[in-house]
Chain A
Amino acid sequence: MTVSLPAPPAEVRRAEAGRGVRRGDGRAALGFLAPSTTGFLLFTLIPLVGSLAISFFAWPVLGRKRFIGLGNFVELLGNPIFHQIMLNTLVFVVIYVPLNIIVSLGLALWISPRIRGRGLYRLLFFIPTVTPMIANALVWRLLYQPGGVIDQTVQTLFGVPAPNFLGDTRWAMAAVILMSVWQGFGYNMLVFSAGLDAIPQSIQEAAAIDGAGPLRRFWSITLPMLSPSMFFAMIMTLITSFQVFVQPYVLTRGGPGVTTETMVLNLYRQGFEQFDLGTASTIGWFLFMIIMLVTALQFLGQKRWVHYDG
């Protein structure tokens, strides 16, 4: 390579000594790690510890901070509105994640090698995952408005106005979920596409010769072989869907009432509209604990259905 320059004698001696004898790369490691670890300590570790500490305080943006122990936690747990907000978040996750997985898996299967120009289809279905979420949500707000294109279409087809999707308690969450699925399934579709393409064609053919129909092959070959991708997609999608914020912020502002208010939206409001940083931090820790719990459960459950033998 380009590095084969004559080496100074000292370097040669060191190289001759061999890898095994050298006591380590302590000094080099310090240099390599310094920028990353300094930032990591300052901007990741300290804030993480700090957020737990802050959650034990009544901490207004301006004014005196007061240690109140578990006061914030107790108060939130006893607050019926916060119950509703946690329930909203849970409803969002429980409906959104399966829908996302079904749509992305379905399309990944559909865009099979028999489809011409499959790269283009994949690319276009992927686009909304990289465009700014707030822009996506704004577009959907326009679609959902009374007098908007969905309303107009319904009026033309059925002669009655469509429900006010974003202003009706029965529809608002569904509207938020639909928009989120449209926006988000592209990632998992690509993950599944890659997983499907990696399944050797010969296995499918052998099973077909043995008389397995398409459905049987899907259940007994495709799904098990795709299970590592499914597991990965499920974990990531679960984690990120608990963090839903922009969609309700733009589409409904959490309304009507609190029907679409989610935990992160509530965190933002408590912290940066009510300026109650202690409560905001506590909501963050509730979120973190839920995410850890759900992820742990996923890892425990994976033995039952995830097959890692290639």
Chain B
Amino acid sequence: MTVETIPPGPAGLAEVGGDQRPARAQRRRTSSRAVLSQVLLTAVLVLFLMPFVWMIASALKPPAEVFGGGAGLIGSEVRWSNFAEVWRYLPFGRFMLNGLFVAVSGTVVVCVTSVLSAYAFARLRFRGRDRLFLVYLGTLMVPQEVTVVPMFILMQQFGWVDSYAALILPWAFTAFGTFLLRQFFLSIPSELEEAATIDGAGRLRILLQVVLPIAKPAVAVLAAFTFINYWNSFLWPLIVVNGRETATVPLGLNLFLSQNGNQWHLLMAASAISMLPTVVMVVLLQRHLVRGIALSGLGGR
């Protein structure tokens, strides 16, 4: 392991002696320590990823080989057909489409309403602004579970049980997006907007053409995390959706568990499918997300 880090040629001779010896030895010690650290970290990472590895391995096994002694990582055959079989048991394609529709619509609603209200709170002057914003702030800490019961009753009143609207709208108006974007808008120098005002642009135009281009990274982060939250949401869909027509992916997994709870090869295939969209998104947006978490405080979930 450490051999790789010793530079070829003169450095290798440093051991034998010469006046450079202490410095060389020191450097070699630190570099071999760095290698050791990297190797250990990689080992930790591999261990950490084992659940995912095992998920995919089990998803590709024949059913009889998921449990029991001697079952290795790869079964007697690699059965890609398990993934197709998932579709036959339950309309997983439908769940995926439902999930995408709900998550995308929810994200659009959250972003549009948050951008508008955040701009009003950050830049417009009107009576009661600070008091209204304080009310928004006050609800930031309210856990979803507190309002789940009245929300369910509200859905019954609206006749929205089992509908897309019930999956999209109830959680699209929390204070979080408004709060996050307001903070970001406040950090944009207002001189830019004043110049546009003098040029005669209206408020909406200033927001769309001056402020939004600058705030794009913050909106992107809000959009990404909103999408992920909608896609993964489980408690609320479990409460408000009973049928398969509007079920999202986590509900599909739950249905699968209650109907075919012992078909672990299929459950793992279904789980792997459910993870795909958010993983792809995080890989594509990684740089923005890391910065976004740092600047926005979306952490700690």
Show the binding face of A for B, using Cβ within 8 Å. Answer: 1-8, 11-12, 15, 19, 24-26, 28-33, 35-37, 39-40, 42-48, 50-51, 54, 107, 110-111, 114-116, 119, 121-136, 138-140, 142-143, 145, 147-149, 152, 155, 182, 184, 187-188, 190-191, 193-195, 232-233, 235-237, 239-240, 242-243, 245-246, 250, 264, 267-268, 271-272, 277, 280-281, 284-285, 287-288, 291-292, 295
A8–B278 CB distance below 8 A:
no
B3 CB to closest chain A CB, in angstroms? 17
A1–B38 CB distance below 8 A:
no
Residues of B within 8 A of A188 (CB): 299-300
A151 CB to closest chain B CB, in angstroms? 9
B197–A25 CB distance below 8 A:
no
Q: Contacts A15-B200, A25-B126: A47 and B173 contacting too (C-beta < 8 A)? A: no
Chain B 187-206 per-residue mask, 1 if CB under 8 angstroms from chain A, else 0 = 00000101111111101111
B173–A36 CB distance below 8 A:
yes
B116–A32 CB distance below 8 A:
yes
In this complex, the member of B34, B141, B145, B235 whose beta carbon has the largest number of chain A beta carbons within 10 angstroms is: B145
Residues of B within 8 A of A133 (CB): 232, 234, 250
28 contacts across the A-B interface (CB closer than 8 A)? A1-B209, A4-B199, A28-B120, A30-B126, A36-B178, A40-B175, A43-B169, A44-B173, A121-B45, A122-B290, A124-B48, A128-B51, A130-B279, A132-B249, A132-B274, A132-B278, A135-B271, A138-B271, A155-B69, A187-B293, A187-B301, A194-B294, A233-B299, A264-B235, A271-B152, A280-B149, A284-B147, A295-B141
B139 interface residue (CB < 8 Å to A): yes
Residues of A within 8 A of B174 (CB): 40, 44
Q: What CA separation (Å) do A35 and B71 show in the bound complex?
A: 56
Q: What CA separation (Å) do A111 and B239 show in the bound complex?
A: 41
B114 CB to closest chain A CB, in angstroms? 7
B278–A130 CB distance below 8 A:
yes
B249–A111 CB distance below 8 A:
no
Interface residue total, chain B, C-beta cutoff 8 A? 108
In this complex, the member of B112, B195, B232, B278 whose beta carbon has the largest number of chain A beta carbons within 10 angstroms is: B232
A182–B274 CB distance below 8 A:
no
Residues of B within 8 A of A148 (CB): 67
B283–A123 CB distance below 8 A:
yes
Residues of A within 8 A of B194 (CB): 19
Residues of A within 8 A of B134 (CB): none
A291–B235 CB distance below 8 A:
no
Show the binding face of B for A, using Cβ within 8 Å. Answer: 34, 37-38, 41, 44-45, 48-52, 54-55, 58, 66-69, 71, 112-114, 116-117, 119-120, 124-127, 129, 132, 135-136, 139, 141-154, 169-175, 178, 192, 194-201, 203-206, 209-210, 228, 231-232, 234-235, 238-239, 249-250, 253-254, 257, 264, 267-268, 270-272, 274-275, 278-279, 281-283, 286-287, 290-291, 293-294, 297-301
A29–B120 CB distance below 8 A:
yes
B274–A135 CB distance below 8 A:
yes
A32–B120 CB distance below 8 A:
yes
Q: What CA separation (Å) do A51 and B149 show in the bound complex?
A: 7
Q: Contacts A32-B203, A232-B299, A268-B238: A39 and B145 contacting too (C-beta < 8 A)? A: no
Q: Which residue of the partner chain, among A26, A143, A281, A284, contacts B126 with CB atoms under 8 Å?
A: A26
Residues of B within 8 A of A8 (CB): 200
